[in-house]
Amino acid sequence: METLRDKVAVITGAASGIGRATAWSLVDRGARVVIADIDAAGAEQVAGEIAAAGGSALAVPCDVAAEGAFEALRDSTADAFGRVDVVMNNAGVLTRGLPEHIPVAEWQRVLDVNLMSVVRSNSAFLPLLVEQGSGHLVNTASFAGLFTYSYDRLPYAASKAALIQLSEGLALYLRPQGIGVTVLCPGPVVTGIAGSIRSFGPETTTRGPGPEFEALQPEQVGEQVAEAILANRFMLQTDDNVRPHLRNRADNWDAYLNDRITALDG
């Protein structure tokens, strides 16, 4: 995408964190944005702040796990702005617990929000993008989908790994049709997602991907997303320190896994 000026971007989970920051980064480049979030008051606040700063924004209450939510979001966007150019599937949830303690129902909830919401989004928005022969998708995954650094958040990690594969397949299909795809894989970012974690079973030690990864501010990630859209970049890893992990695992998966086990035991 050569420019974001006058483009229309729909962002889920945009009332806070990475979604909110990305909305501002896109607005700064001339885009009009739809702030979609289950937190209706938060979405209204962000849209109001953007409007007060001279930008163009629409707030839409949206539960990404609800039937028909994306069709309603698509229609609201079309009514307000007449088109869609960028869709960022950013809403997500996190759960914590040892594998034997996380209920099946919780697995279903996490997969429904983190993975199936993107499937629903595609069903609503892809026909529009394919018909116009232009646009860009951004799917928010995670370092947790790239390599394993904990065992107490398996539903989250599994959903994000699946999302990376889904995004790669979409890129194969959509790029020849003029539609870009970016999969955002953040490392540690200072957001409020930790406050909504559901926990099951005994308390676990929450481990991050490693001490080499500095926690970024959402605004830094929002800028990275905007630049990735303009550059038509597929893989957006927020920290290049992830690359040695991926190379080492690809070179000798068993040895890498043994090193991770040793690190966890330590």
Q: Which residues are catalytic?
A: 156
Q: Are 9 and 26 in contact (CB under 8 A)?
A: yes
Closest CA to 117 of 150, 71, 181: 71
Closest CA to 12 of 64, 48, 47, 56: 64
- Number of Cβ within 10 Å of residue 69's Cβ equals 21
Using the Cα atoms of residue 186, residue 47, residue 110 and residue 106 in order, give the sign of their dihedral.
positive
- Number of Cβ within 10 Å of residue 6's Cβ equals 12
